[in-house]
Amino acid sequence: MPQLVWLVTGCSSGFGEVFIRQILSRGDLAIATARRLDKIQHLQKLGAAILELDVTRSQEAINDTVAKAIAIYGRIDVVVNNAAHVTSGAWEDVECDQLISQFDTNVFGVFKVTRAILPHFRERRSGVMVFISSLSGWHGHAFIGPYAGSKFALEGLVESLSRETEGFGIRTLLVEPGRFRTLLLSPGNVRVVPSKIPDYAEASKANADGLAKGDRTQPGDTEKAVKIILDLVRKEGCAQGKEVPFRFPLGRDAYETIGEKCKETLHLLEDWHDVITSTDFDSNSAQK
């Protein structure tokens, strides 16, 4: 495969930083972005181009940044939407503006970055869009409803986008990682909303404590995950000679949880088949 140009969001740590290092190690070109340039200067020293990109800014501002990114090497071949954070709290404790803030990064930011790059991909009839979703896009754990909601929303948006753009030679890869050892659960990336309601207080605090305890102790190896994603994009390594699927879970916990939910859903459909399928008009009524 020829040398690819990658644009990656959220590169100050975690998946984003690993993406840049591995992209460069394969001989590709990388454009790393983050809200603060001082957080990604070390990636520039490795050979990446760097740009300031806050995905919560206006569409016009993001369009300008993406245009600058395209101008660096004359094209972009792959965009990786990786920027995200977690809001934790009970439904009754989370304010609407906190929910909007969660979606602003995890959904609307992804929407704006992708919207900015799509004309370039359509014009070239080529490009790969990578979206880092989550196991939480399949399973809503208690007290992280805002995060799960944002990932469920992302899943639907991206599935529709894939069908809209596949005729233009554009590939879409929706990655659903389980728990990987990144800084996603670090204090700077988790926004905990303490419960003021006695009925929730103990369980909500236990969840917040669990998130804190899970910070940088997750079982998943980020290096291994990113290597697989690069293989899927480049159709080499583990993806050599295979048809790359649109949706790709990563991690043993993702495999087990998603598998269990699929089984539960199939059981529901089978168990309630007659009721679920009983809602069409009767044939005689439909003819009247």
Indicate which residues carry an active-site annotation: 147
User: How far is residue 19's CA from residue 7's CA, in Å, rounded to a whole number?
Assistant: 10
| Residues 6+ positions from 20 with CB-CB distance below 8 Å | 8, 11, 30, 32, 43, 46, 48
CA distances from 115 to 62, 106, 181, 249 (A): 9, 14, 30, 24
Of 16, 101, 21, the closest CA to residue 53 belongs to 16
- Asked if 210 and 218 count as a contact pair (C-beta separation under 8 A), the reply is no
User: How far is residue 165's CA from residue 47's CA, in Å, rounded to a whole number?
Assistant: 32
What token pair was written down for 169? 């030679």
- Asked if 159 and 129 count as a contact pair (C-beta separation under 8 A), the reply is no
